Amino acid sequence: MNSCTILRSVLLSLNTSWVSNQRRWIRSAPSLYRTAGHTSNTTVHHSEATLGKLRSLNRQFDRRLRSVYQRYADGPDHTVFQGSHHVYIVEGCGIYRMGHTEEEQDMVQVFHTDCAGDVEGTIQRVRLSATESILAATAKNSHKEEAKCVVIRLDNHNAPQKPMLILDNVFSFEWASDDVLVYTTQEGLQCRHVFRLHLTNTGNQSELLYEEKDPEFFVEVSRSRDQRLLTINCSSKKSSEVWLIDSKCPFSPPTQVQPRQPGLLYHVEHSNNLLYILANTGTGHEYQLLRAPLSSPAMQHWKPIFSPGPGAVIKDMEMLQDHCVITGREPQGQLQLQSISLKSPDHGTVLQLPSWACAVETQRIGTVDKDTFSFLLSSPVHPPIRYHLSPAHQRPLSREHAFQHQHTLLTECHTTRLQAASQDGTMVPMTLFHMKALADLSEAPLLVHVYGAYGLDLNMSFSPEKRLLLEDNWTLAYCHVRGGGECGVSWHRAGCLQQKMKGVEDLSACIQTLFQSGVSQPALTALTARSAGAVLAGALCNKNPHLLTAVHLQAPFVDVLGTMQDPSLPLTIEERGEWGDPLTNPQDRDNIASYCPCHNIVPQLYPSMLITAYSGDSRVPLSGVLKYVERLKKAIQTHTSSSSRLPIKGNVPTIMLDLQPGNDHFGPEDFDQSVSETAQQLAFFYTVLGLEYKGSQQKMRGKRKRTIK
Q: What single DSSP character describes residue 482?
A: B
Q: Do residues 375 and 417 share a domain?
A: no
Residue 707 has pLDDT above 80, yes or no: no
φ, ψ for residue 623, nearest 5 deg: -60, -35
Cβ 495 vs Cβ 466: under 8 Å: no
Q: State residue 369's pLDDT score.
A: 67
> Lowest-confidence range among 276-285, 342-351, 515-524?
342-351
Cβ 452 vs Cβ 507: under 8 Å: yes
In a domain, 439, yes or no: yes
Cβ 565 vs Cβ 582: under 8 Å: yes
Kind and range of the H or E element at 466? helix 464-471
Q: State residue 219's pLDDT score.
A: 98
Cβ 569 vs Cβ 560: under 8 Å: no
Position 636, amino acid: I
In a domain, 532, yes or no: yes
Q: State residue 63's pLDDT score.
A: 94
Q: State residue 51's pLDDT score.
A: 75
Share of the chain above pLDDT 90, in %: 65
Alpha-carbon dihedral sign for residues 436, 554, 2, 326: negative
Q: Do residues 450 and 350 share a domain?
A: no
Q: Do residues 392 and 505 share a domain?
A: no
Q: What single DSSP character describes residue 161?
A: P
- Residues 358, 364: Cα–Cα separation, whole Å: 20
Residue 38 has pLDDT above 80, yes or no: no
Question: Catalytic site residue 617?
Answer: yes
- Residues 334, 355: Cα–Cα separation, whole Å: 7
Cα 342-348-352 angle, rounded to 5 deg = 130
Give the mean pLDDT of 645-660.
75
Give 605 or 394, the one with higher predicted confidence.
605
Q: Confidence band (pLDDT; 50, 70, 90) for 77? A: low
Q: State residue 243's pLDDT score.
A: 98
Q: Confidence band (pLDDT; 50, 70, 90) for 120? A: low
φ, ψ for residue 221, nearest 5 deg: -115, 145
What does the pLDDT look like over 4-14, one tens digit per residue?
A: 333 333 332 32
Q: State residue 46's pLDDT score.
A: 55
Question: Catalytic site residue 20?
Answer: no
Q: Do residues 454 and 503 share a domain?
A: yes
Give the mean pLDDT of 251-256.
96
Q: Do residues 379 and 425 share a domain?
A: no
pTM: 0.90
What does the pLDDT look like over 425-455, one tens digit per residue?
A: 999 999 999 999 999 999 999 999 999 999 9
Instruction: Examine the fold and report which residue of 367, 398, 429 is the final residue of a domain before the chain moves on.
Output: 398
Q: Do residues 389 and 422 share a domain?
A: no
Residue 599 has pLDDT above 70, yes or no: yes
Residue 90 has pLDDT above 60, yes or no: yes
In a domain, 501, yes or no: yes
The boundaries of the domain holding residue 390 are 308-398
In a domain, 339, yes or no: yes
What does the pLDDT look like over 180-227, one tens digit per residue?
A: 999 999 998 899 999 999 999 888 999 999 999 999 999 999 999 999
Q: How many helices (H) and strands (E) does the chain have?
A: 11, 39
Q: State residue 647's pLDDT score.
A: 53
What does the pLDDT look like over 333-369, one tens digit per residue?
A: 899 999 999 998 887 889 889 999 999 998 765 555 6
Q: Confidence band (pLDDT; 50, 70, 90) for 172? A: very high
In a domain, 556, yes or no: yes
What does the pLDDT look like over 124-158, one tens digit per residue?
A: 899 999 889 999 999 887 677 788 999 999 877 66
- Residues 665, 661: Cα–Cα separation, whole Å: 11
From the CB of residue 282, how many other CB atoms can be counted at a distance below 10 Å? 20
User: Can you list the positions of beta strands (E) in 584-685?
Assistant: 608-614, 655-660
Residue 594 has pLDDT above 60, yes or no: yes
- Residues 632, 655: Cα–Cα separation, whole Å: 8
The catalytic position among 112, 267, 434, 665 is 665
- Residues 289, 346: Cα–Cα separation, whole Å: 12
- The listed range with the strongest mean pLDDT (366-370, 412-416, 523-527) is 523-527
In a domain, 265, yes or no: no
> Lowest-confidence range among 246-250, 472-476, 641-645?
641-645
Cα 18-20-23 angle, rounded to 5 deg = 120
From the CB of residue 275, how many other CB atoms can be counted at a distance below 10 Å? 23
Kind and range of the H or E element at 560? helix 560-564
- Residues 61, 391: Cα–Cα separation, whole Å: 45
Q: What is the CATH number of the domain that holds 660?
A: 3.40.50.1820
Kind and range of the H or E element at 535? helix 533-543
Residue 107 has pLDDT above 90, yes or no: no
Q: What size, in residues, is the chain?
A: 709
Residue 628 has pLDDT above 80, yes or no: yes
User: How distant, in Å, are the alpha carbons of 173, 222, 334 from that of 184?
Assistant: 6, 10, 36
Beta-bridge mates of residue 413? none
- Residues 18, 678: Cα–Cα separation, whole Å: 12
Q: Do residues 558 and 618 share a domain?
A: yes
Q: Confidence band (pLDDT; 50, 70, 90) for 644? A: low
Position 624, amino acid: G
Give the mean pLDDT of 647-651.
54
Q: Do residues 431 and 523 share a domain?
A: yes
Q: State residue 115's pLDDT score.
A: 81
For residue 310, how many C-alpha atoms fall within 13 Å in the half-sphere facing its CB? 0
In a domain, 199, yes or no: no
Q: Do residues 390 and 419 share a domain?
A: no
Q: State residue 673's pLDDT score.
A: 87
- b or e along 4-18 (b: 16 or more beta carbons within 10 Å of the residue's beta carbon)? bbbbbbbbeebebbb
Give the mean pLDDT of 550-576.
95
Question: Catalytic site residue 285?
Answer: no
Q: Do residues 649 and 589 share a domain?
A: yes
φ, ψ for residue 156, nearest 5 deg: -95, 10
449, 450, 428, 476: which is closest to 331 by C-alpha? 428
Give the mean pLDDT of 286-311.
96
From the CB of residue 91, how many other CB atoms can be counted at a distance below 10 Å? 15
Reduce the DSSP state of residue 93 to 3 states and report it.
coil
Instruction: Examine the fold and report which residue of 364, 398, 432 is the final residue of a domain before the chain moves on.
Output: 398
- Residues 693, 74: Cα–Cα separation, whole Å: 28
68, 75, 73: which is closest to 384 by C-alpha? 75
φ, ψ for residue 466, nearest 5 deg: -70, -35
Give the mean pLDDT of 221-234.
96
The backbone region for 408, taken as left when phi is positive above 0, alpha when psi lies in -120 to 50, beta otherwise, is alpha
Query: What does the mean pLDDT of the chain come to?
Result: 86
- Residues 378, 651: Cα–Cα separation, whole Å: 38
Beta-bridge mates of residue 27? none
343, 269, 340, 261: which is closest to 308 by C-alpha? 340
The catalytic position among 457, 617, 664, 670 is 617
- Residues 346, 93: Cα–Cα separation, whole Å: 47
Q: Do residues 472 and 387 share a domain?
A: no
Beta-bridge mates of residue 180? 177, 198
- Residues 378, 416: Cα–Cα separation, whole Å: 16
Q: State residue 41's pLDDT score.
A: 30
In a domain, 474, yes or no: yes
Residue 44 has pLDDT above 50, yes or no: no
Q: State residue 675's pLDDT score.
A: 93
Q: How many domains does the chain have?
A: 2
Q: State residue 78's pLDDT score.
A: 61
Q: State residue 245's pLDDT score.
A: 98
Q: Do residues 490 and 601 share a domain?
A: yes
The catalytic position among 129, 531, 608, 674 is 531
Give 7 or 101, the one with higher predicted confidence.
101
Share of the chain above pLDDT 70, in %: 85
Instruction: Examine the fold and report which residue of 365, 398, 431 is the final residue of a domain before the chain moves on.
Output: 398
User: Can you list the positions of beta strands (E) in 459-575?
Assistant: 475-479, 525-530, 550-554
Name residues whose C-beta falls within 8 Å of residue 374's C-beta, 6 or more positions apart in sequence: 362, 363, 386, 387, 388, 389
465, 477, 474, 384: which is closest to 435 by C-alpha? 474
- Residues 591, 561: Cα–Cα separation, whole Å: 10
Q: State residue 191's pLDDT score.
A: 96
Give the mean pLDDT of 466-488.
96
Name residues whose C-beta falls within 8 Å of residue 387's C-beta, 6 or more positions apart in sequence: 374, 375, 376, 377, 397, 398, 399, 400
Beta-bridge mates of residue 268? 277
Q: State residue 144's pLDDT score.
A: 75
